[in-house]
Amino acid sequence: MDNFTFANPTKIIFGKETENQVGKEIEGYSKKVLLHYGGGSIKTTGLYDRVISSLKKSGIEYVELSGVKPNPRLSLVKEGIKICRENNIGFILAVGGGSVIDSAKAIACGVPYEGDVWDFYLGKNIIKKALPIGVILTIPAAGSESSKNSVITNEDGWYKRGVGAPALYPKFSILNPELAFTLPKYQVACGAADIMAHLMERYFTNTRNVELTDRLIESTMKTIINNVPTVLNQHDNYDAWAEVMWAGTVAHNGLLNTGRVGDWGSHGIEHELSGIYDVAHGAGLAVVFPAWMKYVYKNDVNRFAQFAVRVWNIDNSFWDVERTALEGISKLENFFRRIGLPTTLSELGIEDDRLEEMAYKGTNGETSTLGNFVKLGKEDIFNILTLAK
Amino acid sequence: MDNFTFANPTKIIFGKETENQVGKEIEGYSKKVLLHYGGGSIKTTGLYDRVISSLKKSGIEYVELSGVKPNPRLSLVKEGIKICRENNIGFILAVGGGSVIDSAKAIACGVPYEGDVWDFYLGKNIIKKALPIGVILTIPAAGSESSKNSVITNEDGWYKRGVGAPALYPKFSILNPELAFTLPKYQVACGAADIMAHLMERYFTNTRNVELTDRLIESTMKTIINNVPTVLNQHDNYDAWAEVMWAGTVAHNGLLNTGRVGDWGSHGIEHELSGIYDVAHGAGLAVVFPAWMKYVYKNDVNRFAQFAVRVWNIDNSFWDVERTALEGISKLENFFRRIGLPTTLSELGIEDDRLEEMAYKGTNGETSTLGNFVKLGKEDIFNILTLAK
């Protein structure tokens, strides 16, 4: 186990009807908020009205900025920064999934910063302060509701880049599983793939002696595997949704990577995919991750065998551990297919004519590598994308 | 799953030599600290010197209060409150295990309170503020390093009572597994029983649909079961100690009881035991818990069977689930014995002449019950203590 520091201050408010507390939760921070959300779904479900009513009860003024898209855009972030400055806004409330939250985080750190907010995403500067943000989560997926990270897409060149800083932890996140009842099935499945990917990025490590976190990750994966098919069949099964929603947050709040180095190569490759093709992040991950696994599993067959046995209940082939390892990968692919996700680029509608371009961009023009479990150069990324065809 | 709120702000600083950061961590809070510890062990190991050196480097003055005993006493807490007030102390540094930390928490909330600090432990008043505290942990056991709870013994009548409040979360806790290398074996075993008990108190619940937390608790139990025998045989095995130490904190930081109601009956009974007989808390729990299990398992045989199968790898007897359940209890007892703990009152040197008195005190003179999984009245407690003879 490596030395580590862990602190996650986000207050989680979990359960039925908890969105009605949002005004009260904001009261201590500011009387003027930016209400940030995506499309109109929060209006059709009635969530919007409940949020407004709670804000009004607490005497909180709000300015709205909607229109966040999946793979949230830098241009909207800049608009948000401008609105916050002009209106002297002191708090950002994100109502939505990971894209809305990540966009809110970008606005939050952009407001007090004199330079271009994209600097942070390019690593040119470090986030020291940000407006406080709060979250009402509607999609279990990104884990951004209790993370310090934000991923934004710059339309100028379609670069998708991430940043992390303690100032970006939401002050609170309201998690009501009922809010997920109305999600389209494909979005549910994409969210599940995102959560599984967060767990697997942490799981596949070269750090030795990480038994507790190995087991905690396995537990969280099993919970996702067990409950996602249920919510796909019974969209209003509160108990199963509660498992999925809480697992999605636990997957990404920092606890499960304490003392270990995660991989994050598949996320890096997927960012190139969804940066160019604007596919759903979870769908991209369902395509990239199994290909990545097939490409790298020989780096530590035992770890892949442990994944197969403990997560997928496969009988270990003691005299052929590689077979066990491969069965685990196959089970993961089957799971993705079973919940309705693509597992190849062609199913995503992506041709093979830009694989090299993605490999080139993913390594910043062959100046860097992706991932830690195995360091991937341009050729490796190209090979993985080829395996994913 | 029940509605819940979860927030744990304690910053964990984990790993080798991390105690040398303590001065830096305190700098932002106060320039004058109460250095609170137990006996002389931190001096013989050299820890005391390293702490003093770090404090001096950061220009932090300190006043010492040592002498904390297991089952920490109200009289020392009151002395600490007096010292803090007289010396205008702004931060309390606890160097030790759960007793030292709990004593520090009691002092911390006592300093700004005008009444008697024992009021909080009797539930006569609510803790609203407290001095900030920091921790250097030397014993993986109580989990107090990342909890909001404190348990103190009032020598006037030997009452042992607990309290919890957000103000009692340590600002930081430094966890260096190396500091546990010199612990006596019996103390290691008692710590392990305490950690297992924290996990089991959470595990045995009547709340339905708590799959994620069930699995997370099982993972943490398995880690303890797998690593405690190793550290008993190899006192300087850093990797195994790291698992035990981190598991001990995760067991009690609040995550594993999100959305579920824990039991805490065994803790309540043990408080009566160690209140009167001053036995080690962990040893008392190793005696009480198996007896409690035998008394209550019929309340939910399936939960006990799940415990047996998932935690102890017992084959389920599908046509005789009770047998599975009982095998799990037996495995737990064997584990306690194997690591050198008593599992009966007589092994603890306790006669059966005061069982009724303990049952009476545990129910506050038959005015209340203990536990949630099964509500225990005076007669139940007496019966459990009788089973533990």
Per-residue confidence (pLDDT) for residue B71, from 0 to 100: 87
Average pLDDT on B291-315 reads 98
**For A185-387, which CATH class?**
mainly alpha
Q: What is the pLDDT of residue A278?
A: 81
Cα–Cα separations (whole angstroms), residue B91 to B94, B117, B329: 10, 18, 44
* pLDDT beyond 90 at B369: yes
Structural domain boundaries of chain A?
Answer: 11-179, 185-387
Q: How confident is the model at residue B75 (pLDDT cuts 50, 70, 90)?
A: very high
Give A175's DSSP letter.
E
The CA distances from residue A10 to A16, A170, A172, B223, in Å, are: 19, 6, 5, 27
User: Average pLDDT, whole number, for chain B?
Assistant: 97
C-alpha neighbours within 13 Å on the C-beta side of residue B244: 33
What confidence tier does B333 reach under pLDDT thresholds 50, 70, 90? very high
Whether the per-residue pLDDT at B275 is higher than 90: the answer is no
pLDDT of residue A221: 98
ipTM here: 0.96
Looking at residue A160, what is its pLDDT? 85
User: In Å, what is the CA distance from B345 to each residue of A170, A218, B272?
Assistant: 49, 38, 13
Q: How confident is the model at residue B308 (pLDDT cuts 50, 70, 90)?
A: very high
Place of tokens 């809305």: A100
Mutation pick from A8, A11, A207, A219 vs chain B, by most beta carbons of B within 10 Å, is A219
Closest CA to B181 of B247, B222, B246, B242: B242
* Alpha helices by DSSP H, A88-209: 98-110, 118-121, 185-203
Q: What is the pLDDT of residues B134-188, one digit of tens each?
A: 999 999 999 999 999 999 999 998 888 899 999 999 999 999 999 999 999 999 9
User: Closest partner residue to B219 among A6, A14, A219, by Cβ?
Assistant: A219
Nearest Cα residue in chain B from A15: B3
HSE toward the beta carbon, residue A358, CA cutoff 13 A: 28
pLDDT single digits (tens) B94-108: 999 999 999 999 999
CB contact under 8 Å between B209 and A13, yes or no, is no
pLDDT at site A16: 98
Q: Residues A267-315: pLDDT tens digits? A: 999 989 988 888 999 999 999 999 999 999 999 999 999 999 999 999 9
Give CA–CA dist B199/B196, Å, rounded.
5
- Rounded to an integer, the average pLDDT of B10-33 is 98
Percent of chain B whose predicted confidence (pLDDT) is above 90: 96
- Of B139, B149, B147, which Cα lies nearest the Cα of B186? B139
* A64 in Cβ contact with A35 (< 8 Å): yes
Rounded Cα gap, residues B324 and B336, in angstroms: 19
Angle between helices B211-233 and B238-250 (to 10 degrees): 150
Give the pLDDT confidence score for residue A159 in this predicted structure. Answer: 86
Which regions in chain A score pLDDT beneath 50?
none
Contact: A216, B218; criterion CB under 8 Å: no
Q: Indicate yes or no: CB of A212 within 8 angstroms of CB of B219.
A: yes
Cβ <8 Å between A10 and B8: no
- Residue A157: what pLDDT? 87
Work out the minimum CA distance from A246 to partner chain B, whole angstroms: 8
* Residue B30 CB contacts under 8 Å (≥ 6 apart), including other chains: B60, B89, B90, B91, B132
Work out the average pLDDT over B278-295: 96
d(CA B42, CA B50): 10
Cα distances (angstroms) measured from residue A317 to each of A290, A324, A335, B361: 21, 6, 21, 56
pLDDT of residue B97: 96
Give which of A24, A237, A246, A309 to mutate to test B binding, by max B Cβ within 10 Å.
Answer: A246
pLDDT over 90 (residue B294): yes
Instruction: Give the ranges where B234-280 is alpha helix by DSSP (H).
Output: 238-250, 265-277
Q: Categorise residue B340: left if φ over 0, alpha if ψ from -120 to 50, beta otherwise.
A: left
Report the alpha-carbon distance of residue A192 to residue A170 in Å, rounded: 22
CATH topology of domain B11-179: Rossmann fold (3.40.50)
Interface of A with B (CB under 8 A): 1-16, 18, 208-209, 211-212, 215-216, 218-220, 222-223, 226-227, 239, 242-243, 246-247, 250, 255, 258-259
Is residue A10 within 8 Å of A253, Cβ to Cβ? Answer: yes
